[in-house]
Amino acid sequence: MFANPALLVSRLVFVGLIVEAFEIFSLRRDFGESGMFSRSNLAILTAGLRWQLRMGATLGESTVISVAAAVQALAATVVLIEGTQARAGIVSALICLVVNGYLRSRRQIGGSGAEQLTFIALVTFGLVMLAGGTEAARRVGDAFIAGQVVLAYFAAGVAKAASPVWRTGNAMAGILSTEGFGAPSLGKLLAAHPELDQVLCWSVMAWEIAFPIVLVAPKSIMVVLFSIGVIFHVSCAILMGLNRFVWAFCGCYPAVWATAMLLR
């Protein structure tokens, strides 16, 4: 991801930042005084938090948010074009770090694992640049991101395995029948065929728990695990609207690959 900035797949995280910028711009009115993300609401929600977590929570309304979203989209576009090896790309990635940090603090509500991973990747890049941006620093950055991805999948798989709903194979039908993440036709199909739901539930759990072996497995198995990941996240984007996860997690796959190659 950092050690191979010339790879287009290494820049997918920044596609996610562009998508996020457009989403935030469409919600810009909600950052006004009468909106969900108003400064008064955020002041109440963050009143008991440490000052580090409250920074930026009450700074700026709709106009400032619109400008910040535009800056993030523009900077991320430059990174897509230049990569993170050229000076323009490096500066733009650091701009993304600052602006995205502000937007995360200003919104507070409704975050996701994809946004957390994206911000972790940006912070890691900032630290890599602070360390001189050398090849060694970039490889350490890749190793850290790889650890984050592997841990995220493994923890998610273990959490699902601990849930009776997932173990009995009723989870997918339930999720796809919800209003927020639903695909009614597919939800009804899985409800009518519980054995199919069980296969899907156990397939997801098995893949997530087994994902850490990607660091030591033969290349053929690595390709299979990554391919399943792409299919999984694209399916979640189409069926559940979780579009950000495709760019965040798949964008970090090059870091996992580079780390696995280094371990060899």
Read off the tokens for 97: 């770090």
Quickly tell me which residue has 């273990």 as its tokens.
Answer: 158
Tell me, what DSSP letter sits at residue 29? G
Q: How far is CA 84 from CA 78, 90, 114, 203, in A?
A: 10, 5, 20, 36
**Amino acid in the structure at residue 256:** V
pLDDT digits (tens, 9 = 90+) for 134-148: 999 999 999 999 999
Read off the tokens for 89: 């790309």
pTM of the model: 0.89
* Burial class of residue 249, CB neighbours in 10 A (0-12, 13-18, 19+): buried
- pLDDT of 53 over the 90 cut: no
- Rounded to whole angstroms, the Cα distance separating 151 from 37 reads 31
pLDDT digits (tens, 9 = 90+) for 203-250: 999 999 999 999 999 999 999 999 999 999 999 898 888 888 999 999
- Rounded to whole angstroms, the Cα distance separating 73 from 86 reads 18
Residue 220 CB neighbours (<10 A): 7
Tell me, what DSSP letter sits at residue 7? S
- The whole-number pLDDT of residue 184 equals 78
- The whole-number pLDDT of residue 192 equals 86
Read off the tokens for 130: 């602070």
Q: How far is CA 188 from CA 53, 160, 164, 185, 200, in A?
A: 42, 22, 21, 5, 15
- The whole-number pLDDT of residue 124 equals 96
